Amino acid sequence: MKSKMLLAVVGVALFASCQKDPLKNLSPSESRIYITNRDENVDFNSFKTYNISDSVGVIEDNQLLGKDLTEFDATTIAKLKQALDARGYTMVDRNSSPDLGITVSRIYSTSTGIISYPGYWDSYGSFYDPFYWGYGGYSYYDPIYYGPNYYATYSVTQGALSVDMLNLKDAAADNTIRPVWSALARGTGVFNSSAAEAEINTFFEQSPYIGTNQ
């Protein structure tokens, strides 16, 4: 599989002398990362029809929890249909032997870790305004932690939109359904309904080889 990766960072000026970390100023759309993969041995012009799942798989920590259809899911499926139709493919019923099967998934991944409070405060520091409390001229003692070995645990959950295109046309040859294309988007607000169109458009902009006349 051949992969392409695009970090959508548009219109961001990097003023190193004025900003500590320019990436903190990215908008949700600018922060998203798009990755597409293809099977280079596949001629996408050989496919003419497709069917797309009417619901979205929900995967958490590598386990399928079930199917869902939120507003975001429905919008994503609708935009995928528009994109595939625009590339010359025809939507057919799944019982009509479609050439391609399209699946959509929302993927959640949770990571955990441990913070040492002294290390946390040394890295990030803090800001207080003594005047707010009426103690102008006073300073605060940082870090705020109790004892030399004070720790806390944290967890972070990240989400990603995944789209897979499966070769159903040739599946009977060896009883195997093979993926021919996949796309993934991750970043801030990736599951917002307002972001669905841009995410699907970016997937297909990165994949000009998809189409019946390519």
**Can you give the pLDDT of all 214 residues of the chain as single tens digits?**
555 544 433 333 333 344 444 445 556 566 788 999 899 999 999 999 999 989 999 988 888 888 999 999 999 999 999 999 999 999 999 889 899 999 999 998 877 766 554 554 444 444 444 554 555 565 444 444 444 555 556 566 788 999 999 999 988 888 888 899 999 998 889 999 999 999 999 999 999 999 997 5
Residue 153 to residue 138: CA distance in whole angstroms: 32
Decide if 47 contacts 74 (C-beta within 8 A): no
Q: According to the model, what pLDDT value does residue 31 have? A: 73
DSSP state of 170: T
DSSP string covering 21-82: -GGGG--HHHH-EEEEEE-TT--GGG--EEEE-SSEEEEETTEEEEEE--HHHHHHHHHHHH
Q: What are phi and psi of 173, to 5 degrees?
A: -60, -40
Residue 135 to residue 206: CA distance in whole angstroms: 58
Decide if 89 contacts 45 (C-beta within 8 A): no
Q: What is the pTM of this model?
A: 0.70
Residue 94 to residue 100: CA distance in whole angstroms: 10
Q: With 0-12 CB in 10 A as exposed, 13-18 as middle and 19+ as buried, what is 70?
A: middle
The encoded tokens of residue 124 equal 């990030």
DSSP string covering 75-116: HHHHHHHHHHHHTT-EE--GGG--SEEEEEEEEEEEEEEEEE
The encoded tokens of residue 130 equal 């003594």
Coil, strand or helix at 122: helix
Coil, strand or helix at 70: coil
Tell me which H or E stretch contains 167. Answer: strand 151-167
Go through the domains of the chain in sequence order and give each one's CATH number. Answer: 2-205 (3.30.160.670)
Decide if 99 contacts 48 (C-beta within 8 A): yes
